[in-house]
Amino acid sequence: MVAPPDNDVLWARGLHYSYSGSPALTGVSIGVREGEVLAVTGPRGAGKTTLLKCLSGQLLPDPGEVWFNSAPVHTLSRAARERLRRERFGWIDSTPHLVPELSGWENAALPLLVRGTAHRTAKQTALEWLERLDVGDCARKKPNALTQAQRQRIAIARALAAEPTVVFADEPTAPLHTADRAQVLRTLTTAARSHHITVVLATLDDESSALADRSVTLVDGRRGGGIPVPDATDGEGRAACSVSA
């Protein structure tokens, strides 16, 4: 086995994945640098979600290798991969999956409470993240009293509140109105950068990938040509990186 480069928080080589014999990834290799926001773009069905699931240990590539912080993920047991996901990764889906019985802040605090964070600290942290995502007024409401956009902002707060090493965001602004999309995505990327959280963002949308440091394209389960983001600077003035082939 070839060891991954030290500065890649995630590194994957030769990823293949098929659903019942139908290929979704056919030999994708990718490195994700620590602290970067990497956009994975490509048309519907290109394999973006499957790639994020392989990188996050939800799916096991067959064959293929995934390394996190220079340690192999693809050889871990299911339980060890679940623990890794719980402790080091966050996931934002294209639709918010909140626990209906819990209030907004309880949903946002859930990963912290599961980790054993003190109740008071978990609540305080969750409330701060809800404020940052402009849903502070939803803290005491149950999901069924909220709009889809409010629920999605809570799901984003939940993913960030636990300050994971990597957040995987699979078309996270899909349920939002166009006017909300850029603002929520900017909040997500700015917050992630200020907390040194790496983001792998699957998106169909050019506006979203413009907020990333780097962009890679999938076409039919393979890497297409990468598009360097010409002048992607965020509020902190971070410069764009070029694509690694």
Ligand X SMILES: Nc1ncnc2c1ncn2[C@@H]1O[C@H](COP(=O)(O)OP(=O)(O)OP(=O)(O)O)[C@@H](O)[C@H]1O
* Cβ 171 to ligand X shortest distance, Å: 7
Comparing CB distances to ligand X, the nearer of 204 and 210 is: 204
> For residue 239, with 0-12 CB atoms within 10 Å meaning exposed, 13-18 middle and 19 or more buried, which class applies?
exposed
Comparing CB distances to ligand X, the nearer of 10 and 28 is: 28
* Cβ 73 to ligand X shortest distance, Å: 18
Tokens linked to 152: 């999605």
* Cβ 14 to ligand X shortest distance, Å: 17
Comparing CB distances to ligand X, the nearer of 24 and 39 is: 24
CB atoms within 10 A of CB 29: 14
Comparing CB distances to ligand X, the nearer of 125 and 217 is: 217
Comparing CB distances to ligand X, the nearer of 107 and 173 is: 173
Strand residue runs (E) in the chain = 8-19, 22-33, 37-41, 65-68, 71-72, 89-92, 166-170, 198-203, 214-219, 222-223
Q: 161: which DSSP letter?
A: H
210 contacts: CB under 8 Å, gap ≥ 6: 229, 232
* Cβ 220 to ligand X shortest distance, Å: 9
28 contacts: CB under 8 Å, gap ≥ 6: 12, 14, 15, 47, 51, 64, 218, 221, 222, 223
* Cβ 127 to ligand X shortest distance, Å: 32
Interface positions with ligand X (CB under 6 A): 19, 22, 24, 42, 44-50, 202, 204
Tokens linked to 153: 């902002």
